[in-house]
Amino acid sequence: MSQQAILLLGYLIGSVTFIVGLKMLSHPDSARKGNLVAAAGMVIAILVTIFLYRYDRTDANPEGLPLGNYGWIFGGLVIGTVVGTMIAKKVQMTAMPEMVSLFNGMGGACAMLISIVEYGHIQHSANPVAGTGILTVIVLGMIIGTVSFAGSMVAWGKLAGKVKDRTIPAGQAINFMIFGALIVLAVMVIGGFTTSPIVFYSILALAALYGVLFVMPIGGADMPVVISLLNSFTGVAAAFGGFLYDNPVMLTGGILVGSAGTILTILMCNAMNRSLKNVLIGSFGGGSTGSVAGDKEQGHYKEISLNDTAVLMAYAQKVMVIPGYGLAVAQAQHICHELEKVLNEKEVEVVYGIHPVAGRMPGHMNVLLAEADVPYEKLLEMEDANDQMSTTDVVIIIGANDVVNPAAKDDPSSPIYGMPILEVEKAQHVIVNKRSMKPGYAGIENDLFFRPKTSMLFGDAKKVLQDLVAELKQV
The DSSP code for 378 is: G
How many angstroms separate the CA atoms of 343 and 353, rounded?
Answer: 17
172 Cα distance to chain centroid: 24
φ and ψ at residue 379, rounded to 5 degrees:
-90, 110
Whole-angstrom distance, CA of residue 365 vs CA of residue 333: 9
* 230 in Cβ contact with 104 (< 8 Å): yes
Per DSSP, 315 falls in state T
What is d(CA 401, CA 223) in angstroms, rounded to the nearest whole number?
15
Task: Please check whether residue 240 is in contact with residue 118, taking contact to mean a CB–CB distance below 8 angstroms.
Answer: no
Coil vs helix vs strand at 321? strand
Closest CA to 262 of 272, 254, 250, 252: 254
Opening angle at CA 278, ends 275 and 283, nearest 5: 145
For residue 152, which of 96, 94, 214, 95 has the smallest C-alpha distance? 214
| Burial degree of 72 (CB within 10 A; 0-12, 13-18, 19+) | exposed
Instruction: Give me the phi and psi of 128, to 5 degrees please.
Output: -75, 0
Q: Contact, 102 vs 84, CB < 8 A?
A: no
Q: How far apart are CA 118 and CA 132, in angstroms?
A: 14
User: Active site residue: 295, 402, 410, 447, which one?
Assistant: 402
> Strands 54-55 and 65-66: what pairing?
antiparallel
Based on the residue annotation, tell me whether 373 is a catalytic residue of this protein: no
CA-nearest of 103, 110, 112, 70 to 84 is 103
Alpha-carbon gap, residue 312 to 395, rounded angstroms: 11
Tell me which residue of 261, 233, 213 sits closest to 146, measured CA to CA. Answer: 233
Q: How far is Cα 262 from Cα 107, in angstroms, rounded to an integer? A: 16
Let me know: does 337 contact 374? Beta carbons within 8 Å.
yes
In this structure, which amino acid lies at residue 126?
Answer: A
Cα gap 230→100, rounded to integer Å: 11
Which of 122, 141, 304, 137 is closest to 236 using CA atoms? Answer: 141
Active site (catalytic) residues: 402
